Structure 1
């Protein structure tokens, strides 16, 4: 049976007048994190007679018991579930980085940590046109109509410019059980064009970072911190807007979306790092995935190996097809077997779509 709802995180900006109380809560969150860090670092190894020093493996449950009274002892105003969420996040980070001592969260100075106040389901509510949390009301720019949703878990978060945002997970009904879009498309990710579809639609590379790189350099040399943060925010917002427009068009027109599994994190270790990070491939994939799911569409990620070299018409790999980084300059090529002339990226996108059909025919294994 197909699900009728899906989870989505909504993000709205909190009005600046609430900044002092949120910064106080963020300071308390940092205190809880640092207290947990101190405990795990101090008792990471315990002595056992006739055995020696053995790693204690402090669990989140152990930390909860150790820090059970920290809220009342220190007079914190944060919600009780916030303490639990911070300890759970600390435990998860220790497991991820395989260490008992993480970085301290700093509340002031040039190296301060950005504000973060997590909470569990039921801690935040919508009352009287405002967000009610931990005994305080917060006015927000409500662009989603939050009153129509039932709040689940979420957080308050701060960006580099000091602006606060309310992030909340909500349950949204899937728009339709069967998507009305009948198209099918393969998408090849690249640097000359950020994304190229098998039907010819392209998301051109605007090079958002490079366009403002000179202005950013001037601001950095002049040590204009506010200007630097504003330029970075402008770059991010322009990239996000362009990707949103492209993904919305793709999802509206296509019920099946197939994309290559290109790794931006791996390519970020090469000389192409700046261009790769500026392209925003991960953001594009994420948007396509959740937007397709919201419309009961199918989103598939497949192995893109050899998709650039294989002829999408006859399936052969010829000697003049573009290969590896050395062939990046080859934008068009002709297959000697069938004589068809290909646009490099469109051909790759068509091969990706064919691979998506093969996967659907074989079935998608349940993990």
Structure 2
């Protein structure tokens, strides 16, 4: 692999094979990422349990059928900082340097929340999929739940859809059975 001399990346993990392409990504907080496309072989991991049911919630992110609970990270402090900075941004004149600095601060806080959520969801989905042969998840009407003004912000920060997508993809990768039950089933009671 040939990397130019002026680029000194921080590697998240070793590449499994030589990359076929590289993409440079810049986000709104002026962070740069290198995305590599590589060939990956399927992974075979033995499971500990036959099946597990996962019930998603607000106070506790996930309650598993074996009694385990997964608490969601607290985004409240960062969310308050974002709201405060957005009020400040609204009062600043458009095109000013201070407005641009405030915009970048807001973007960094949003990225911090996103990174925390992604880390939590990846770790939880990997744990669930690697330990169980069959994963059963409930189907939620998130767009309907977000219409509740008092819960909309908290529900949006949870990342339920992203969790479902990660579980589906990892189940396929580890050759596990993934099933989604109807939203009308009484999953919380059962």
Equivalent positions of 1:262-281 (< 5 A) are: 262-271=140-149, 272-281=151-160
Residue matched to 2:123: 245
Residue matched to 2:133: 255
Deviations 1:286-322 (A, max 9, x none): 22122222222222222131324xxxxxxxxxxxxxx
Distance 1:266-1:138 versus aligned 2 partners, 3 A rule: farther
Deviation at 1:143, TM superposition (A): 2.4
Q: SS of the counterpart of 2:168?
A: helix
Q: SS of the counterpart of 1:301?
A: strand
Show structure 1 runs of 5+ residues with no match: 1-126, 132-136, 309-344, 349-367
Structure 1 runs, 4 residues or longer, greater than 4 Å off: none
Equivalent positions of 1:217-232 (< 5 A) are: 217-223=83-89, 224-232=102-110
Deviations 1:245-284 (A, max 9, x none): 2222212211111111113234233323212111111121
1:144 aligns with 2:13: yes
1:206 aligns with 2:73: yes
* Higher Cα radius of gyration: 1
Deviation at 1:146, TM superposition (A): 2.9
Residue matched to 2:93: none
Deviation at 1:188, TM superposition (A): 1.1
Q: RCO greater where, 1 or 2, for CA within 8 Å and sep 6 or more?
A: 2
Q: State the distance in 1 between where 2:36 and 2:162 align.
A: 19
Equivalent positions of 1:1-367 (< 5 A) are: 127-128=1-2, 130=3, 140-146=9-15, 148-151=17-20, 155-176=23-44, 179-183=45-49, 184-208=51-75, 210-223=76-89, 224-271=102-149, 272-308=151-187, 345=188, 347-348=189-190
Distance 1:273-1:242 versus aligned 2 partners, 3 A rule: same
Question: Scaled by the length of structure 1, what TM-score is found?
Answer: 0.43
Aligned length: 176
Q: Is the 8 A contact 1:207 1:278 kept in 2?
A: no
How large is the Cα RMSD of the aligned pairs? 2.6
Range moving further from structure 2, 248-257 or 287-296 = 287-296
